Amino acid sequence: MWYNERRKLINGKFTKEQVYKHIQTSYNANPNGADFLFLSRACYGGVIRFRKADGFMSTPCGAHTPIPQEAFAKRVDVWYQRVKNTEFIHCDYKEAFAMAKRGDLIYCDPPYSYSQTILYGAQSFSLVELFEEIAKAKIRGVYVALSIDGNKKSGNFICELPIPDGLFAREKLVDIGASMLKRFQMEGRELIDEDVSDRLLLTY
């Protein structure tokens, strides 16, 4: 209902950009879940950004047309089934690590050092501290999988990271296509030689 109330405003009278701006203004004046839901589906690249100075949601309208209400409803139904027995906890990642027991699996998707600190404002995040937590979890018998920078420029630039020797047992490269950051920076221009690959690091 929340999504449909906002999505149906995009019609012959109002463009998606006008609707987006209206809802973004509404959200920034009074942050709420209903506006945020629509913005998350309609913003550029699906990436929510907030200005550090005042906390305003600043991501511009996406190039795509937000999906129809019927398609959105189907996705909600699918994800409801997938997560209905899942417990979500909002906490510092170090607290989550401390909860893990032998045989548990932790998947880490931290801000990427070579790009995502720009997008997510995570300049203070310490990858070294994360590696320390992974090492402690590994000693306790917790399995850890980590996604992080691999290579950029279609393999011509290797992302160097302070990965401790022996911490991970395996490394896989996952081709994820064109760089999301470059899509922002180049505003729809052709992304030649801008494919990137992520590292998937496994302690097991």
pLDDT at 155: 41
- From residue 116, give the alpha-carbon distance in Å to each of 111, 125, 158, 171, 184: 5, 11, 16, 21, 12
Q: Residue 97: what pLDDT?
A: 98
Low-confidence ranges of the chain (pLDDT < 70): 114-123, 152-158, 177-194
pLDDT value at residue 185:
47
Q: Which residues of 77-100 are buried (b: 16+ CB within 10 A; e: fewer)?
A: eeeeeeeeeeeeeeeeeeeebeeb
- Identify the pLDDT of residue 152: 64
Q: What domains does the chain contain, in order, with CATH numbers? A: 2-83 (1.10.1020.10), 93-202 (no CATH)
Cβ atoms of 110 and 127 within 8 Å: the answer is yes
Partnered with residue 197 across adjacent β-strands are: 151, 175
**Rounded-to-10 torsion of CA 66, 70, 76, 79:** -100
| Contact indicator for 145, 107 with CB cutoff of 8 Å | yes
Question: How many CB atoms are located within 10 Å of the residue 114 CB?
Answer: 18
For residue 175, list its beta bridge partners: 197
Model pLDDT, residue 154: 43
Residues 86, 127 contacting (CB under 8 angstroms): no
**Side chain identity, residue 37:** L
pLDDT at 99: 97
pLDDT given for residue 49 in this prediction: 86
